[in-house]
Amino acid sequence: MSNAVRRGAAILLLLLAAGAQAAPAGPSLVGMETSQTLRIVLGLTVLAVLPALLVCVTAFLRIVIVLAMLRHALGMPETPPNTVVIGLALFLTLFTMAPVLHRANQEAFQPFMQGTLPMEAAYDKGAAPLREFMVRQTREQDLALMVELSKADVPQGMDDISNVQLVPAFMLSELRAAFQIGFLVFLPFLLIDLVVSSVLMALGMMMMPPTTVALPLKVLMFVLVDGWSLVLKALVGSFR
């Protein structure tokens, strides 16, 4: 029994000695673990709010609305499917936002991941390119409306504009721009609908739905003029 007690005491002393020797390295290890944990939490937070950011502060809003209106103008509300429309809008958003994202990555994300830039400074540097992009697309009237609704002082410069005012103003401007482009997209297809309806009325074929004849004509015209290329070029070129 005494031998077992002695062995247990010896093992306990060895463990205490090993802990004492490892004690000086504790703070650095804790610091490394804390830094890694913060990065993981930040990454998960970004992933959680990414869908909202994608809609609110990028070119996605304008692009997806125009593509949805194009489907209705063609007379095919479910073709292409939503998955295809959203995927195409995502890639067009990446093309449009590439300079902004590249700058944010070089000036904020990479230095933060390397540990050379604190979190608050990384946020400010990463948000700056997005804010500049939103300001370029935002109408002064929409920004003035948001400032008035928020009952805040009139900003003297871009740095004085809060994100609470800038983001909804940007979204209003994007909705307006998307509806303007969508109206122009609707016009040629509306003309085809009017012509087809007039011809069917003149021929006395009032029982035949005009969409039955107009739909293939719309698709044919859209393909002949290379409509997808025209719409996508107009969308990407509409951003300043």
Which residues fall within 8 angstroms of residue 115, CB to CB, at 6 or more apart? 35
Which pLDDT does position 136 carry in this prediction? 87
Give me 93's structure tokens: 């958003």
Prediction pTM value:
0.73
Which pLDDT does position 164 carry in this prediction? 80
Tens of pLDDT, residue by residue over 91-126, are 898 888 888 888 887 777 777 777 777 777 777 777
Quote the CA–CA distance of 31 and 110 in Å, as a whole number. 20
Which residues fall within 8 angstroms of residue 162, CB to CB, at 6 or more apart? 150, 152
Most confident by average pLDDT, 11-25, 33-47, 208-222 = 208-222
Which pLDDT does position 46 carry in this prediction? 66
Three-class secondary structure assignment of the chain: CHHHHHHHHHHHHHHHHHHHHHHHHHHHHHHHHHHHHHHHHHHHHHHHHHHHHHHHCCCHHHHHHHHHHHHHHHCCCCCCCHHHHHHHHHHHHHHHHHHHHHHHHHHHHHHHHCCCCCHHHHHHHHHHHHHHHHHHHCCHHHHHHHHHHHCCCCCCCHHHCCHHHHHHHHHHHHHHHHHHHHHHHHHHHHHHHHHHHHHHHHCCCCCCCHHHHHHHHHHHHHHHCCHHHHHHHHHHHCCC
Tens of pLDDT, residue by residue over 153-201, are 777 777 777 778 888 888 899 999 999 999 998 898 888 888 888 887 7
Give me 91's structure tokens: 């890639």
Contact call for residues 124 and 159 (beta carbons, < 8 A): no
